[in-house]
Amino acid sequence: MKKIINDVSQVEQEMIQGLVKAHPQYLRRVTDSDVLARAQKKTGKVALISGGGSGHEPAHAGYVGYGMLDAAVPGAVFTSPTPDQVYAGIKDIATDKGVLMVVKNYTGDVMNFEMAADMARDEGIEVEEVVVNDDVAVDGSLYTVGRRGIAGTVFVHKIAGAKAEAGGSLQEVKAVAEKVIANVRSMSMAISPCTVPAAGKPGFEIGADEMEIGIGIHGEPGVRKDTMKNADSIVDELLEKILSDLDYKGNDVAVMINGCGATPLMELYIVNNHVSDVLKNKGINVYKTYVGEFMTSLEMEGFSITLLKLDAETKELLDAQADTPAFKQL
């Protein structure tokens, strides 16, 4: 294993410290916890909290800031944060408007966030939850009952965060988050694996001439391994699965081409080139496109495609201002 680290046991702690030192205008570390919250707590609005295992950076701490999250809770690499950590985050950011938890659909994440919510409710904090399950590749996986939550989660952060920033009630913010979840679909592929530092070896194997279609963000198995194909052919397969799951025809969509951690931007733009053409040919209007690394898997090489069907409300909220370490829309 070659990694630019110091001590395997200190990877998460040194990353958290580095995040706060890099972005003190955005982030502070909540006392006696690993929670990263807004540098200045904002009151009088619904507070949003998300999180999950480390290794998906910039998710989720990179989205803490104006117009998106109020706090992020990182666990160990690819490991759910504990209920106590999530509870510390909820307590820190809670306002009289309540707290919305945005949780990716992994069994550990859902269980631990829900336990934390119960602890917070016992103290009189109003907490609601939405669970993101945008991955169309498989229904049920190593860490999941039902579909996995992947890069579409970032659209939930953005749109629900904008609704909260605009003064929406807890039920209104939850409703728009659920609208995004109902209208967002994603699918991934990879051509090389990633190595969890504590494991010291790749989590799976892909041959030199192979790719894995439908892989999860922790390297969970996908639909199948296949021989390597060109970019357009890969896009066609992923889009076919996404478009067969939800009718986008005649609608405006937001597109996210997300790199898994080691994919050159050049290749992501090649992917987007064909995605844009396919959607146009199918009568789907691309309203806005995001290309880059939004939810990674350490140094995995690959990408995901996310499509979000938009309406007037979600367009306005998608366009709203956001200012966070990893997402700036001014």
For the chain, the domains span: 9-182, 184-322
Query: In one letter, which amino acid is 263?
Result: T
**Which CATH superfamily groups domain 184-322?**
Dihydroxyacetone kinase; domain 2 (3.30.1180.20)
- pLDDT above 70: percentage of residues in the chain: 100
- Dist. CA 261–CA 298, nearest whole Å: 6
Q: Locate tokens 């985050």: which residue? A: 89
Closest CA to 304 of 238, 248, 246, 241: 238
Give the count of beta carbons closer than 10 Å to the beta carbon of residue 245. Answer: 14
107 has a pLDDT exceeding 80 = yes
- Look at residue 222 in the predicted model and tell me its pLDDT: 82
Query: Could you report how far apart the first and last alpha carbons of the chain are, in Å?
Result: 40
> Band of the pLDDT at 258, cuts 50, 70, 90?
very high
225 has a pLDDT exceeding 80 = yes
Q: 265-303: per-residue pLDDT in tens?
A: 999 999 999 999 999 999 999 999 999 999 999 999 999
Q: Locate tokens 């992923």: which residue? A: 238
CA 165 from centre of chain: 19
Fold (topology level) of 9-182:
Rossmann fold (3.40.50)
315 has a pLDDT exceeding 90 = yes
- To the query of whether residue 218 is one of the catalytic residues in this protein, the response is yes
Q: Locate tokens 């934390």: which residue? A: 116
- Look at residue 93 in the predicted model and tell me its pLDDT: 98
- Strand partners of residue 301: 192
220 has a pLDDT exceeding 90 = no
- Dist. CA 323–CA 311, nearest whole Å: 23
- Look at residue 142 in the predicted model and tell me its pLDDT: 74
- pTM (2 d.p.): 0.98
- Dist. CA 88–CA 71, nearest whole Å: 10
Pair of tokens at residue 297? 């898997």
Catalytic residue among 23, 60, 157, 218: 218
Catalytic residue among 56, 60, 157, 274: 56
* Residues 12-20, mean pLDDT to the nearest whole number: 98
- To the query of whether residue 56 is one of the catalytic residues in this protein, the response is yes
> Band of the pLDDT at 221, cuts 50, 70, 90?
confident
The 3 state secondary structure assigned to 251-310 is CEEEEEEEECECCCHHHHHHHHHHHHHHHHHCCCEEEEEEEECCCCCCCEEEEEEEEEEC
Pair of tokens at residue 178? 């659920």
* Residues 136-159, mean pLDDT to the nearest whole number: 92
- Look at residue 292 in the predicted model and tell me its pLDDT: 98
Q: 148-203: per-residue pLDDT in tens?
A: 999 999 999 999 999 999 999 999 999 999 999 999 999 999 999 999 999 999 98
- Look at residue 140 in the predicted model and tell me its pLDDT: 77
Query: Does this chain's domain 9-182 share its CATH topology with 184-322?
Result: no
90 phi, psi to nearest 5 deg:
-60, -45
- Look at residue 144 in the predicted model and tell me its pLDDT: 81
- pLDDT above 90: percentage of residues in the chain: 95
